[in-house]
Amino acid sequence: MKKTKSVLSTAILIMIPLGVTVGVCAPGVAQAQYVAPPPPPDAYVATTEPEYYEGRPVYFYNGNWYYRDEHGWNYYRAEPPYLHERRSHWGERDRRYHYHR
């Protein structure tokens, strides 16, 4: 009986730290860190006059400047000063065509 108690006590003493370690080190639920906004649709690109920046056409859509390269659509996370200045010269009529929310 003493030997059984000793074995059970030892097993419990080993299992408690092991359980805590597994619980702490187990990965949590995966979550996306960042979700990129969708690029402008083809119809928008076909009907909107682009600005040109860094030698390529760029489109202002949903508050972001988008451009295409060999990997597909990309956008500037911060508005480049040149493009900000260009937008300041758009009239009210032009602005509503370039900014869709």
pLDDT in tens, 48-86: 999 999 999 999 999 999 999 999 999 999 999 999 999
Alpha helix (H) residue ranges in the chain: 2-25, 42-47, 81-87, 92-98
Q: What is the mean pLDDT of the chain?
A: 78
pLDDT at 9: 62
Q: How far apart are CA 36 and CA 84, in angstroms?
A: 21
Is it the case that residue 101 has pLDDT exceeding 50?
no
Domains of the chain, by residue range, sit at: 42-98
User: For residues 95 and 41, which has the higher predicted lDDT (pLDDT)?
Assistant: 41
pTM for the whole structure: 0.58
* pLDDT-above-70 percentage for the chain: 60
User: For residues 65 and 1, which has the higher predicted lDDT (pLDDT)?
Assistant: 65
Q: How far apart are CA 6 and CA 12, in angstroms?
A: 10
Strands laid side by side in the 64-69 sheet: 51-53, 56-61, 64-69, 72-76
